[in-house]
Amino acid sequence: MSRKIAPLSGRHRQASPLGKCLSGIGMVVYVAAALVAFGCFSMVAAKEPLTRQPVYNPHSKSYFQIFSDNKHPGNWHAARQRARSKSYKGVLGRLAVVDSLETHQFLVKTLGLNQRGISTWIGLRYWCDGRMLQWESGRPFSPSDPDHLRLWHIPWYRGEAGSKDACEYTGSRRHGFAPVYYRTVGGITRWQAVGAAKFFADYIVEYPTGGE
């Protein structure tokens, strides 16, 4: 009578040395492929160009667009004129009004301001004689007014050591104001006032369309 041989149970079944080796190689290849794929994806994501097209902000109900053509001259007044010469969807542009935290966060994220590492004009200026701030869209207001957004670097102005504020510059004394721009320091993007003769090529244009 033939004797049946029972299959090995799970605890007695052992893989051959060759099987173990192949299994290990397969796992290494799998992990290596995954790491390569992740690395390639990360490189593509990192190299993906930041947008320069108009982008819609639901909070302000307007479009924003960044430009880098403010050269010869590159001061705030020239950026203001260039912004006013541009249009989108039949609406004339203006230097960006960033009067809410939501709009600020939208611009930093969508335009990649903290990634670009650039200084960027916006539509805010500080009137030297009256010590008042003014957006392109409204009336002057006090810097200490709690109803208005305050996103200043410390110090709030860019100047020489020992200077009191940006109004001490010749350009600001001549024009009567110190313009404000976005500056990124240590990965933090906030406002800073500077002399009116300062040159920056980049500026943000807002198209106040009132909707999409």
Instruction: Give tens-digit pLDDT for 151-164.
Output: 999 887 776 555 66
pTM over 0.85: no
CA atoms within 13 A on the CB side of 9: 1
Q: What is the pLDDT of residue 197?
A: 87
Q: What is the pLDDT of residue 167?
A: 82
Rounded percentage of the chain residues whose pLDDT exceeds 90 = 56
Contacts (Cβ under 8 Å, ≥6 apart) of 188: 114, 153
- Per-residue pLDDT at 74 exceeds 80: yes
Instruction: Find the mean pLDDT for residues 84-104.
Output: 97
103-124 pLDDT, tens digit each: 999 999 999 998 888 899 999 9
Q: What is the pLDDT of residue 1?
A: 46
- Per-residue pLDDT at 28 exceeds 50: no
What count of residues does the chain have? 212
Contacts (Cβ under 8 Å, ≥6 apart) of 58: none
Contacts (Cβ under 8 Å, ≥6 apart) of 60: 97, 100, 102, 103, 106, 206, 208
Averaged confidence pLDDT in the chain: 81
Class of domain 55-207: alpha beta
Q: What is the pLDDT of residue 45?
A: 39
- Per-residue pLDDT at 138 exceeds 50: yes
Q: 10-19, 70-79, 152-161, 190-199: which has the minimum mean pLDDT?
A: 10-19
Whole-angstrom distance, CA of residue 147 vs CA of residue 125:
17
Which of the two residues, 157 and 4, has the higher pLDDT score? 157
Highest mean pLDDT among 46-50, 164-168, 197-201: 197-201
